[in-house]
């Protein structure tokens, strides 16, 4: 008597199941690889615009509380805060809107206008940065589009190098030398943030 595994319908079932598993593994592998490549591209971009950086730190705001900072960079233009937004879809927002909307296909969600939080971060950083210039940008990842235009202080990730050109690295190092002491003190004193990741 033949076993169940020798029956033709079991063979067909196993072939289909194996095909599904291979497809799922391939999809997962491709997504994992794409995410890895995006992280590598982001790291390379940040290296090209900064002389030093810290990420996911807690910036004291002078009230006994603090603010999460995704990235704090030392650049030829001074200290730069980057607030990263890895959203997928069309983003609709303006300086006057309290909430911005993301639409992709039939999916839609809103989030608070991030400009107010950026102003708070910039004010907190200026209070402890001394004479070092301070700037900030809300940076949207490569899978987001702004069909109606980009609000103030926002930019696409691929525009970082145009926004903060560094030029010759040796010359850039000389340019930031007067700020190195402030940077060393600041970057070593900011505690790591346990702020939950968000889109």
Place of tokens 């805060």: 81
Work out the number of other CB atoms within 10 angstroms of the CB of residue 152. Answer: 9
Work out the number of other CB atoms within 10 angstroms of the CB of residue 151. Answer: 19
In three-state secondary structure terms, 160 is helix
pLDDT over 70 percentage in the chain: 85
Q: pLDDT per residue over 59-69, tens digit each?
A: 988 777 889 99
pTM score, whole prediction? 0.79
pLDDT of residue 83: 96
The beta strands (E) that lie in 86-164 are given as: 89-92, 99-104, 107-112, 134-140, 144-145, 154-156
| pLDDT average, residue stretch 28-51 | 76
Instruction: Give the integer Cα–Cα distance in Å for 133 and 112.
Output: 27
Instruction: Give the integer Cα–Cα distance in Å for 4 and 1.
Output: 10
For the chain, the structural domain boundaries read 7-49, 51-189
Instruction: Give the integer Cα–Cα distance in Å for 114 and 125.
Output: 17
């Amino acid at each position: 008597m033949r076993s169940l595994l020798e029956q033709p319908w079991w063979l067909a079932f196993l072939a289909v199941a194996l095909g599904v598993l291979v497809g799922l593994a391939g999809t997962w592998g491709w997504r994992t690889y794409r995410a890895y490549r995006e992280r590598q591209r982001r790291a390379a971009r940040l290296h090209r615009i900064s002389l030093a950086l810290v990420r996911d730190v807690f910036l004291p705001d002078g009230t006994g509380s603090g603010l999460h900072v995704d990235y704090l960079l030392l650049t030829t233009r001074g200290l730069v805060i980057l607030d990263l937004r890895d959203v997928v879809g069309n983003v609709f927002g303006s300086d006057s809107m309290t909430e911005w909307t993301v639409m992709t296909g039939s999916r839609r969600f809103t989030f608070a206008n991030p400009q107010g939080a950026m102003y708070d971060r910039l004010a907190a950083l200026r209070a402890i940065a001394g004479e070092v210039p301070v700037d900030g940008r809300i940076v949207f990842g490569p899978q987001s589009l702004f069909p109606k235009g980009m609000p103030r202080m926002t930019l696409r990730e691929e525009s970082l190098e145009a926004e903060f050109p560094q030029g010759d690295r040796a010359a850039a190092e000389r340019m930031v030398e007067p700020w190195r002491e402030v940077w060393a003190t600041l970057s070593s004193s900011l505690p790591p943030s346990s702020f939950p990741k968000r889109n």
